[in-house]
Amino acid sequence: MVKLYSSEPYRISYMNEIPGSVGTSASFILRLGQTLFSSASLLFMSLGVEFYSYTAFCYLVTIMGLVIPWSFTLALVDGYSVLVKCPIRQPGILLIIVVGDWVLSTLTLAAAASTASVVDLLLNSQGSFCPIKLCCRYRISAVMAFVSWFLSLASSLFNLYLLPSL
Amino acid sequence: MVKLYSSEPYRISYMNEIPGSVGTSASFILRLGQTLFSSASLLFMSLGVEFYSYTAFCYLVTIMGLVIPWSFTLALVDGYSVLVKCPIRQPGILLIIVVGDWVLSTLTLAAAASTASVVDLLLNSQGSFCPIKLCCRYRISAVMAFVSWFLSLASSLFNLYLLPSL
């Protein structure tokens, strides 16, 4: 109801000022970063052949398999929006993007934390379960997943900040 | 700027309708639940004496030690607000509560996921690191931490929903 009073030109100029929201070049860079770090995390984890013996590692691979297509699709949408200079401004679509980003970032965080704790346990246990080279790769994979979580969260927050002004 | 046009009586009646935001009885119940489940998680984890040999378990204990006083304090504030029928409506304080809730819920999720994955690894490894009774207690602790995360997230979302209307 309150929204009815706001003037249209003010809204449009205000909306375009938020960097990182859907359809800006900052958002495009964020999405590319998500795709890149998720792919790196997936590759570092799955090119070693032993990952499926640990639940946490399987979970990480599953989640990264969800994050990569999501981020890549939104990167394409952002790139297209920047080229044609016509960003998405439908509240419904933006809400889906915010919720999707948020759910995926939560899942990514859980996967990254699980992987990190399992790697820590494997490195510190006396039995020496994994060769040191393999464990370092698992650790790099966890760090990449944390970076991907952070970027995904940033996208979600920028879009959430834009949402009430639509 | 938009807020100036909204009429004061409308705002007050609208604000009081959101259950779960600060100063309502639903919020009081949520806070009590957070305190309860966090305490249960802490007790199930720390009354066994071996938790400090795993990083993930130490992390869970640390985070629960942060969540319990936070939730308990806000439960007291909510209880007081319900009794005197005068809820907090300063945007600054509400923002601090939303951000604090959100940070703590993120940390709780990471701790719960780490604990769950380590417990899973301990239960499934061939070496049989922990007695089955102890591992079950660790698992219950992880479940309690997940419930605490969910309640904390609910509080954060309800308050975030209230924030733009202030």
Interface confidence, given as ipTM, is 0.78
pLDDT of the residue at B19: 81
Is the pLDDT assigned to residue B12 strictly greater than 60?
Answer: no
- The predicted model gives B86-93 an average pLDDT of 83
- Domain for residue B91, yes or no? yes
Interface of B with A in 82-141 (CB under 8 A): 106, 109-118, 120-121, 124-125, 127, 129
pLDDT of the residue at B144: 94
pLDDT of the residue at B138: 87
The one-letter code for the residue type at B74 is L
- The predicted model gives A68-82 an average pLDDT of 92
Provide the residue range defining the domain that includes B68: 21-165
- Domain for residue A143, yes or no? yes
Out of B6, B106, B121, name the one closest to residue A121 (CB). Answer: B121
Spell out which residues of chain B touch residue A10, defining contact as CB-CB under 8 Å.
1
- Domain for residue A2, yes or no? no
Spell out which residues of chain B touch residue A125, defining contact as CB-CB under 8 Å.
129
pTM: 0.82
Record: contact A117-B114, CB cut-off 8 A: yes
pLDDT bucket at A20, cuts 50 / 70 / 90: confident
- Domain for residue B153, yes or no? yes
pLDDT of the residue at B17: 61
Separation CA A145–CA B60 (nearest Å): 20
Interface of B with A in 28-67 (CB under 8 A): 54-56, 59
Separation CA B144–CA B140 (nearest Å): 6
- The predicted model gives B67-79 an average pLDDT of 93
Average pLDDT score over chain B: 83
- A166 vs B142, more confident: B142
pLDDT of the residue at A133: 75
- Domain for residue B15, yes or no? no
Record: contact A117-B118, CB cut-off 8 A: yes
For residue A30, give how far its alpha carbon lies from the nearest alpha carbon of chain B (Å): 21
Model pLDDT for residues B107-140, shown as the tens digit of each residue: 999 999 999 998 888 887 766 566 777 788 888 9
- Domain for residue B136, yes or no? yes
* Number of domains forming the structure of chain A: 1
pLDDT of the residue at B5: 46
Separation CA B144–CA B10 (nearest Å): 40
Is the pLDDT assigned to residue A100 strictly greater than 60?
Answer: yes
- Domain for residue B81, yes or no? yes
Out of A10, A113, A127, name the one closest to residue B114 (CB). Answer: A113
- B120 vs A17, more confident: B120
Cβ atoms within 10 Å, residue A37: 25
Report residue B138 CA to chain centroid gap.
Answer: 19
Model pLDDT for residues A105-129, shown as the tens digit of each residue: 999 999 999 999 988 888 877 665 6
Give the DSSP letter of residue A144. Answer: H
pLDDT of the residue at B127: 60
Contacts of A111 (CB under 8 A, 6+ apart): A56, A59, A60, A63, A64, A145, B113
Which of A38-47, A93-102, A157-166, B4-13 has the least mean pLDDT? B4-13
Candidates A50, A117, A138, partner chain B, best to mutate (most B CBs within 10 A): A117
What SS3 class is residue A36? helix
- Domain for residue A9, yes or no? no
Out of A10, A113, A125, name the one closest to residue B113 (CB). Answer: A113
CB B109 within 8 A of CB A111: no
- The predicted model gives A36-43 an average pLDDT of 94
